[in-house]
Amino acid sequence: MANKLDKKTKIYAVLFVLLIFGYIYLESTKKQPINWFPSFVAKHKIPLGTYVLNKELSSIFPSNNIETVAIPPYVYLQDSTRTGTYFFVDEALNFGDAEFLRLLKFVARGNDVFISTHGMNIDTLNFETERLVSKNLDEKVFFKQLNKAFKGIEYSYDRPFINQVFTKIDTLNTTVLGITGYINANEERTEEGINFVKHSYGKGNFYLHTFPEVFTNYNTLHEINHQHTANILSYLREDIPILWDAYYKTGKSKITSPLQYLLGSKHLKWAYYMALIGILVFVIFEGKRKQRSIPIITPLKNQTVAFTRTIANMYFEKQEHKNIAEHKISYLLEFIRVKLHIQTIKIDAVFYENVALRSGNSLEDVEKLFKFCDAIHLKNQITNEELIKLNSLIEKFKKTIQYGK
């Protein structure tokens, strides 16, 4: 029966392992889904990374020096001699007050700052934004730049995104450069708003844009929309460096942990999973093979009472009442030394008085007990009645200590 069970267990184990490896094979060979994570990182080649734009900037602006800034603007702009167009593109940007103040000073000296992100409420420049929502699911988004040089061409975008528009602008210092909205099935505009502006500040300009997806790999490689990207970039100056921000990014631009490195590669990821599964299988089956039933060990019985009874019966049967009495007197003296902390070297009136005070017995009862003990010591043999009397006196003495009179 046991051999039959072992054989069945082995069959199940082999089937389980084959099932695991079959699953791993199917998972490792199937087509991986497209990663639509909005990273906006220059090193990422996923659809919403900015690898293509970052590589093409040098050819688009051959006379400009392209510099990557991987530190916060607050730190980078400590040097007041910095010049260029500070280029920010990310899903969300949140500058601190002190940091934005340095950007203001940077622009006031004659530089530019280009910011493309979803939603920005910049109280310092009197800008506010809100989300533009289409009324029907069949409507499509449009983007249009107002510069006549672009001939009023409109562009669209077929991926879901957050379409933000400016609801408040500083009309005295701001120029509207682009708009966005929605068109229904009848080619009628149902919603419209401003999504690209130029704001003059000091000797420089802020360019504020609410559609960062236009700079991603997916859009720049589009057969039509790449021109939309080029039109927006045409506002960048060619006489100063372009400072590409690599600090404010939703995605991670570099590997920050060994596990991220393992899971970042398809082959290493599945090798890691196989190792974990192998360890799990080893623990399950190896642990089962090595485990043995633990025998129940019955604890040893306390034989002290039985032993005492046996010894007592031996003395009693041999009529050695004197030896029993001597033992009981010795145990009584030991009891007094341990419990009452009274020396028993000298049995006298002082001893009687101390024992009576500490035990709660009367002085007469204590004297009676120990004088009877002295009488026992002087006899060679004692009777059964004398042994019983001695035991009664000792038990009465102990009970008084334990329970009181």
Amino acid identity of residue 142, one-letter, is F
The alpha carbon dihedral of 211, 88, 238, 221 has a sign of negative
Tokens at 363, concatenated: 């002085």
Residue 376 pLDDT: 84
**Residue 210 burial by Cβ neighbours in a 10 Å radius (0-12, 13-18, 19+):** buried
**51-250 CATH pick, 1.10.10, 3.40.50, 1.10.3470, 2.60.40:** 3.40.50
**Residue 404 burial by Cβ neighbours in a 10 Å radius (0-12, 13-18, 19+):** exposed
Residue 222 pLDDT: 92
Residue 120 pLDDT: 76
Amino acid identity of residue 207, one-letter, is Y
Q: Where are the domains of the chain?
A: 2-34+259-290, 51-250, 304-403
Q: How many CB atoms lie within 10 A of CB 354?
A: 16
The helix-helix angle for 304-317 and 321-335 (nearest 10°) equals 140
Strands 85-89 and 112-116: parallel
Task: Calculate the dihedral angle through the C-alpha atoms of 378, 383, 386, 387, rounding to the nearest 10 degrees.
Answer: 100
SS3 label, residue 116 = strand
- The per-residue DSSP string of 125-160 comes to GTBEEEE---SSTT-EEEEEE--GGGTT-EE---S-
Q: How far is CA 97 from CA 105, 259, 383, in A?
A: 12, 36, 108
pLDDT values of the chain reduced to their tens digit, one per residue, 405 residues: 545 556 666 677 777 777 777 776 666 666 778 889 999 999 999 999 999 999 999 999 999 999 999 999 999 999 999 999 999 999 988 888 999 999 999 999 999 999 999 977 787 898 999 999 887 878 999 999 999 999 889 999 999 999 999 999 999 999 999 999 999 988 889 999 999 999 999 999 999 999 999 999 999 999 999 999 999 999 999 999 999 999 998 866 554 556 555 565 565 666 677 777 777 766 766 665 555 666 777 776 655 556 556 656 656 666 677 888 888 888 888 888 888 888 888 888 888 888 888 888 888 888 888 888 888 888 888 888 888 888 888 888 888 876 655
CB 170 within 8 A of CB 184: no
pTM (predicted TM-score): 0.60
CB 86 within 8 A of CB 103: yes
Give dist(CA 53, CA 50) in Å, integer.
6
Buried residues in 385-399 as b, exposed as e (16+ CB within 10 A):
ebbeebeebbeebee
Residue 85 pLDDT: 97
DSSP structural state of residue 65 = P
Residue 111 pLDDT: 97
DSSP structural state of residue 308 = H
SS3 label, residue 375 = helix
Residue 32 pLDDT: 74
Q: What is the largest CA-CA distance in the chain?
A: 139
Question: What residues are paired with 128 via a beta bridge?
Answer: 168
Tokens at 378, concatenated: 């002087």
CB 190 within 8 A of CB 197: no
